[in-house]
Amino acid sequence: MAGMAASGPRVWVTRARPGADRTAAALTARGFTPIIAPVIALKPLDTPVDLTDVAGLAFTSRNGVAAFADQTPRRDWPVFTVGDATAEAARAAGFTDVRSAGGAVDELTALIAGTWPADGGLILAPGPREPAGDLAGALAGRVRVRALPLYAAVGTDIAPPEAFDVVLVHSPRAARALAVRLPPEGGRERLLVAISAAAAAPLGQTGFAEIRIAATPTEDSLLGALGNPARPV
């Protein structure tokens, strides 16, 4: 790519903190030069937390784990997570009975539907105000699930970096925020790597030289699609 930095391709990390810092560390370890400039930020919500009748928990992100863990010291519920990274965060927060799906919300839905008994009780799903998938709706009639919005993803006023070679997009919400910051040819001679097709869709008119989509909606797969800086990105 044109303008590639000598110390490694410059990768714009658009996701919110603290996830952006973890991504930056992974990029540095791979030989890239990360540029943390989040286009979204996580805003805590003042949502009443009702734990009455809760028999289990479902998390679709590390952020949901962190937000919920701050609400109560209890760690005795069985936990379902969307993928292994979220499962690790749940265990680190003190939960011991943790079951992980394959990285997508539909896989989490299948895991719960296939293992949670009909009389197992209510599963609480702490997470964002605008979740990526409707877990409660997908499980309606089989398992009782109640969403608990604890934070919102809001746009920031940060400007795009003056120079970058690659941009990573972790969510459709970040992609929409990014789309309003980039001019029509803002991606010219640059690479876009998105965690899903939905995360790439809002950026289809920004002129990226190449768009790559992760094979699965996980950070590891996203970095795998980015590749190795030893070869051109």
Tell whether the model's pLDDT for residue 115 goes beyond 50: yes
Render pLDDT for 89-113 as a digit per residue (tens, 0 to 9). 999 999 999 999 988 899 999 999 9
DSSP 20-61: HHHHHHHHHHTT-EEEE--SEEEEE-------TTEEEEEESS
Render pLDDT for 167-196 as a digit per residue (tens, 0 to 9). 999 999 999 999 998 888 889 999 999 999
Q: What is the pLDDT of residue 112?
A: 98
Return the SS3 of 169.
Answer: strand
Q: What is the pLDDT of residue 230?
A: 57
Q: What is the pLDDT of residue 7?
A: 72
Residue 214: name the closest of 205, 203, 227 by CA.
Answer: 227
Q: What mean pLDDT is reported for the chain?
A: 92
Q: What is the pLDDT of residue 200?
A: 96
Q: What is the pLDDT of residue 14?
A: 97
Tell whether the model's pLDDT for residue 135 goes beyond 90: yes
pTM for the structure as a whole: 0.86
Return the SS3 of 193.
Answer: strand
**What share of the chain has pLDDT > 90, as a percent?**
83
Q: What is the pLDDT of residue 4?
A: 42
Q: What is the mean pLDDT of residues 205-230?
A: 91
32-37: which pairs have CB atoms within 8 A and are 24 or more residues apart?
32/8, 32/166, 32/226, 32/229, 33/5, 33/7, 33/8, 33/9, 35/10, 35/11, 35/161, 35/164, 37/12, 37/13, 37/158, 37/159, 37/160, 37/161
The contacts of residue 211 (CB under 8 Å, 6+ apart) are 191, 192, 193, 194, 200, 203, 204
Output the CA angle 149-101-44, nearest 5 degrees. Answer: 20
Render pLDDT for 17-76 as a digit per residue (tens, 0 to 9). 999 999 999 999 999 999 999 999 999 999 999 999 999 999 999 999 999 999 999 999
Residue bearing the bigger pLDDT, 116 or 132 = 116
Q: What is the pLDDT of residue 185?
A: 82
| 52: Cα separation from own chain's centroid | 28
